């Protein structure tokens, strides 16, 4: 009587853990560097042990990958990475050092944990901006940005953050979330396309 719901719970849990297990097996195979059945089986056993012993909360909703959006996102990301790495590298070696920096708050439009995580990660990976704080309820990101000379630069950086958000949502978002991009920041009704547990 008591065994049945627990088994269901375990199955349900395992279903959510399958992407994570696939990733763990992939990492294991890449670490060995060669394909063999022994690697696959030992990797699967290890992944099972890791996911059962150290369970993570499931990611609600998952992703929908749009190939065109993903291509745009990745190519912009690579361009940003190279351009801003060159800029920061130049600022470290030029005689006058770095200029002013600023801490800006940006109101985002998306309301999903996963998308916000991707936005924050990709903003922090690009040199010249670090996410300091995130207000999940208000959907605001606070970033420290390098190399701002005046308020026009600040506004340009804010627009760049919103553009990055738009590219991420167009690459990974659901139709609801893409539609929410049309609303100005802060005006989107709370709860649309919400994917938090």
Residue 34 Cβ vs another protein, minimum distance, rounded to whole Å: 6
Nearer to another protein, 101 or 196 (CB): 101
Which among 167, 113, 156, 162 is positioned nearest to 137, based on CA atoms? 113
Task: Yes or no: say if 57 and 114 are a contact pair by the CB < 8 Å rule.
Answer: no
Residue 6 Cβ vs another protein, minimum distance, rounded to whole Å: 33
Residue 49 Cβ vs another protein, minimum distance, rounded to whole Å: 20
Helices 151-172 & 67-93, crossing angle to 10 degrees? 150
Residue 9 Cβ vs another protein, minimum distance, rounded to whole Å: 30
Nearer to another protein, 15 or 83 (CB): 83
Nearer to another protein, 21 or 154 (CB): 154
Overall size of the chain counted in residues: 197
- The residues binding another protein (CB under 8 A) are 27, 29-31, 33-34, 81-82, 84-85, 88-89, 91-93, 97-98, 100-105, 120-121, 124-128, 130-133, 142, 144, 146, 148, 150-151, 154
Cα distances from 150 to residues 22, 173, 179, in angstroms, run: 48, 34, 33
Task: Yes or no: say if 92 and 148 are a contact pair by the CB < 8 Å rule.
Answer: no
């Amino acid at each position: 009587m008591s065994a049945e719901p627990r088994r269901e719970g375990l199955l349900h849990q395992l279903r959510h853990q399958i992407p994570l297990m696939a990733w763990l097996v992939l990492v294991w195979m890449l670490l060995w560097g060669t394909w063999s059945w022994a690697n696959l089986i030992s990797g699967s056993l290890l992944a099972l042990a890791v996911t059962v012993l150290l369970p993570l909360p499931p990611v609600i909703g998952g992703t929908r990958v749009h190939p065109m959006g993903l291509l745009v996102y990745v190519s912009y990301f690579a361009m940003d990475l190279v351009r801003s790495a060159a800029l920061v590298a130049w600022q470290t070696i030029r005689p006058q050092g770095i200029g002013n920096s600023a801490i800006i708050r940006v109101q985002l439009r998306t309301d999903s944990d996963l998308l916000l995580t991707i936005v924050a990660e990709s903003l922090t990976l690009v040199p010249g901006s670090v996410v300091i704080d995130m207000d999940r309820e208000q959907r605001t990101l606070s970033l420290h940005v390098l190399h701002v000379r005046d308020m026009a630069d600040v506004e340009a950086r804010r627009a760049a953050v919103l553009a990055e958000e738009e590219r991420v949502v167009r690459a990974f978002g659901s139709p609801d979330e893409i539609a929410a991009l049309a609303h100005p920041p802060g005006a989107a009704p709370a709860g649309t396309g919400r994917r938090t547990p």
